[in-house]
């Protein structure tokens, strides 16, 4: 299986990004005029390539409504004060299969979990559990599209690009506030 490099489909779109500190480590946020395009833990597996994106400071990000809103809502979520993100999302990359998987992830309720096989069923590819896992690993909007809610078939905490310790922390946060 080959891995595709994900690039913006509209190179003329300006993407701004910033790094914020959170209780789980530094997190990158990226947005275009169309909406949020990235949320990732700095140093995680499959982090986006930010070449060509404009890095902005916190004060500059306050002038970008999507970055400012994403920062505020992520802070609320990690403090246990928010269960649902209300952000414009823009996913101008990813294969059609990845897009279906990322859409299916958005149907998992706060505080709930499912397994990779269930996601494979939901996207109409019941035998594609490994491909589902690969698509989930490349989720560009960590926490906002809650891939941490997907477990192994036996309930094991497997496969989180941000690290298993962070996955465990996010699940514990949601269990405590569900």
Q: Name the residue among 26, 113, 121, 117 with its Cα closest to residue 74.
A: 26
Which residues share a beta bridge with 36? Answer: 31, 89
Q: What angle do CA 53, 139, 167 make, to 5 degrees?
A: 115
Annotated catalytic residue 147: yes
Catalytic option among 147, 161, 170, 171 = 147
Cβ-Cβ contacts under 8 Å for 98 (sequence gap 6 or more): 135, 138
**CA–CA distance, 178 with 175 (Å, rounded to integer):** 5
Q: Which residue has the tokens 């993407």?
A: 15
For the annotated catalytic residues, the residue numbers are 147
């Amino acid at each position: 299986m080959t891995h595709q490099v994900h690039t913006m489909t509209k190179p003329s779109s300006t993407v701004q990004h910033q790094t914020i500190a959170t209780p789980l480590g530094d997190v990158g946020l990226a947005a275009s005029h169309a909406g949020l395009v990235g949320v990732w833990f700095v140093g995680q597996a499959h982090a986006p390539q930010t070449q060509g994106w404009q890095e902005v400071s916190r004060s500059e990000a306050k002038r970008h409504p999507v970055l400012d809103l994403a920062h505020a809502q992520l802070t609320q979520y990690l403090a246990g004060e928010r269960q649902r993100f209300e952000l414009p999302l823009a996913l101008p990359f990813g294969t059609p299969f990845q897009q279906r998987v990322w859409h299916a992830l958005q149907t998992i309720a706060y505080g709930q979990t499912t397994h990779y096989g269930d996601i494979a069923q939901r996207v109409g590819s019941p035998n594609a559990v490994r491909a589902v896992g690969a698509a989930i690993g490349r989720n560009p909007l960590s926490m906002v599209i809650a891939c941490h809610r997907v477990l192994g078939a036996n309930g094991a905490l497997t496969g989180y690009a941000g690290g298993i310790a962070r996955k465990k922390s996010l699940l514990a946060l949601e269990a405590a506030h569900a």
